[in-house]
Amino acid sequence: MAFVAPKETFAGKVFPVTIGTENEQTFGGENTLPFHAFEGEVPNRPLIAYEIQDVPPEDWPETVRKVYDAVGDDPVKWAKFCQDELKAKAIALRLIGTHPDNKDLSADDAAKTVSDVLGAVNVPLIILGSNHVEKDSEVLVKVAEVAKGKNCVIGKAQEANYKTIAAAAMANGHKLIAMSELDINLSKQLNILITQMGFEKERLITDPMCSALGYGLEYTYSVMERIRLAALAQNDPVMQPPMMADVGMYVWKIKETQASEETLPEWGGLEERAIMWEAMTASSLMLSGAEFLVMRHPKAVELVERFVDELMG
């Protein structure tokens, strides 16, 4: 029996999304399963953005916080450090300080931070809220205006607040992240609601909700695979936006990135373990379909970029 390569081609295709103005970045655009260049077209690498915050990273575990010791007190310094020293291709600014339980910073405070950061860097900017449904609709509307014309990514729109956020992204020429909780039907539903407002599906990014290795990774992994199969095999246009994995935030709050080797000798060195955890979560989710990732530790980013090099090379 002679071997014949069982190639599979699909009718559907993931939309390519381009962000930024000066140093544009494009992700998505493939008509095949993740990294299946042997049977389809994979025109773009996944894009990894470095995460920064509007307030100092006090709650980030030591292993990653220390990287930003000299710059964490100022989002502008922090953004420049990522762009100039770490060679970030994109920066994700999380306005976590606006959360009522955090510093409860106002929409105006956030707008100032966004415009300062935009003035200081020329790589694409992703602007993320604090995930507080009401506060986000106030804050993200304001920052979308300030960033008008910069072709940013704004997020995240959820079922409870998508209307105001999507309208603001649309009016100011941004891309939009639509997030729902680990369910392909909820994802689809939200994308439909947003496109019904007149927001183009080609400008959307689907966030099916990230989970860290060991803390539900398999749920995110499988929801992503199902969304991708719906996009390719069923050619469902609502499921064709590229997918996001918000890796850093989920990884750097669990025990594996914090517990010392003294307390848990059987887990080995903390530094390697923590970086490994972020890199492994990211690489696994790329294999299930994530094209746009937000990460924190430069060493983890470097590992994952190398992984992509080998997969695309």
Partner 1 sequence: MALTGVEIFKLLPKTNCKKCGFPTCLAFAMKLAQRQASLDACPDVSEEAKKILGEASAPPIRPITFGTGDKAVKMGEETVLFRHEKKFVNPTVFALEIKDTEADDVIEAKINDVVTSEINRVGQLLRVDSICITNESGDAGKFAALAEKVAQKAPDVPVIVATESPEAAEAAIKPFSGKNAILYGVTDANADKMVEIAKANKAIVGAKADGLEALSALTEKIKSTGVEDIVMDSGARKASELLEHNTYIRRAALKKSFKPLGYPVINFVQRDDSMFEALIAGLGVTKYASIVVLSSAEKWKNLALFTLRQNIYTDPQVPMQVEQKIYKIGEPTPDSPLIITTNFSLTYFIVSGEVENAKVPAYLAVMDCEGLSVLTAWAAGKFTGSKIANFIKESGIENEINHRELIIPGYVAILSGAIEEKLEGWKVTVGPREANALPAFLRSRAA
Query: Residue 287 interacts with partner 1 (CB under 8 A)?
Result: yes
Nearest residue to 118 (alpha-carbon basis) of 155, 96, 145: 145
Query: Residue 310 interacts with partner 1 (CB under 8 A)?
Result: yes
* 246-275: burial string, b at 16+ Cβ within 10 Å, e else: bbbbbbbebebbeeeeeeeeeeeebeebbb
Q: Which of 31, 130, 195, 211 binds partner 1 (CB under 8 A)?
A: 211
Q: Which of 24, 41, 84, 218 binds partner 1 (CB under 8 A)?
A: 218
In the complex, the smallest distance separating the C-beta of residue 146 from partner 1, rounded to whole angstroms, is 28
Contact 154, 168 (CB under 8 A): yes
Query: Residue 306 interacts with partner 1 (CB under 8 A)?
Result: yes
- Residue 36 vs 89, nearer CB to partner 1: 36
Q: Which of 20, 181, 207, 230 binds partner 1 (CB under 8 A)?
A: 181
Instruction: Tell me the per-residue interface mask from 27 to 66 with partner 1, x by CB under 8 A, - otherwise.
Output: --------xxxx--------------------x-------
Contacts of 221 (CB under 8 A, 6+ apart): 284, 285, 288
99, 143, 253 from 103: Cα distances, Å: 7, 17, 19
Which region among 117-125, 136-144, 165-173, 299-307 touches partner 1 (by CB under 8 A)? 299-307
In the complex, the smallest distance separating the C-beta of residue 80 from partner 1, rounded to whole angstroms, is 28
Which region among 12-20, 170-178, 192-200, 206-214 touches partner 1 (by CB under 8 A)? 206-214
3-class DSSP assignment, residue 53: strand
Find tokens 């993740």 and name the residue: 34
Please report which helix (H) or strand (E) contains residue 232, including its range: helix 217-232
3-class DSSP assignment, residue 36: coil
Distance CA 280, CA 293 (A): 13
Interface ranges with partner 1 (CB under 8 A):
1-6, 8, 35-38, 59, 101, 181-182, 211, 213-219, 221-222, 225-226, 229, 253-256, 258-259, 265-270, 272-273, 275-277, 279-280, 283-284, 287-288, 299, 303-304, 306-307, 310-313
